[in-house]
Structure 1
Amino acid sequence: MTARVAPLASISIDCPDPDALAPFYRALLGLEEAFATPDRGVVCLSGAGPMLTLMRVDAYEAPQWPHGPQRQQMHLDLAADDLDACVAAALEIGAREAEHQAAPDQWRVMLDPVGHPFCLSAVRPD
């Protein structure tokens, strides 16, 4: 077993407006607001392990997937028991499907309301 320095507390996502993006991730992941700075420039959501922190970046540029001048830096992979049903639910709360789908029977690349990619995945480890 590898020793760790500290446990993972949060995954942070840059965005233009944390208040506008928070409802999407609350609905997508079933999270609740845990903390916000007085100016709402940082909103932390909790309820699924590490917190998800949305941070305001004034010069935000949406990542382009799979190619583009601003490539993705990271993305979330979400376990989907029924891929089509999860895609429909994500679309209903504001996601959109990415144009490029490398393996649509195994996972679907989705984009959050400000362009961050995330995957709904039927792939599981053996």
Structure 2
Amino acid sequence: MSDLKTQPNDNSAEAFVASVENQQKREDAIELLNLMSDITQQPPVMWGDSLIGFGQYEYQYESGRRGRWFRVGFSPRKQNLTLYIMNGFSQYQHLLAQLGKHKTGKSCLYINKLADVDIDILKQMVALSFQTRFDSEI
């Protein structure tokens, strides 16, 4: 399967979120944990030491390399909250325009704090991303 170092494990997502030092980031992480749990109807799963994922899918590159990853997730990083929208942002331009203060990477949405964004728009993005069908789902 995959030789990625970041794998799902049995660590508690709730305990990880409770251990976040910065109070605002911890409160935002608790809200994201609840938001993504409600939207996905999936339990949070720790991936590695600092990623929380919901759902899983398998992928295969043209090279034949295979792996598995979560469908949506987040990490309360020191600089920002990083949300993982695995299908990227090309289809979300209309929502990103309404979201509020953020930055994006290929599949990462960077937010300083949840108060900077429209939570209803964020919920729409998480729901749409989670509903995306990948090649193979677990």
Q: Do Structure 1 and Structure 2 share a fold, with TM-score over 0.5?
A: no
Q: TM-score, normalised by structure 1?
A: 0.31
Max Rg structure: 1
Q: When you count helix as a share of all residues, which structure comes out higher?
A: 2
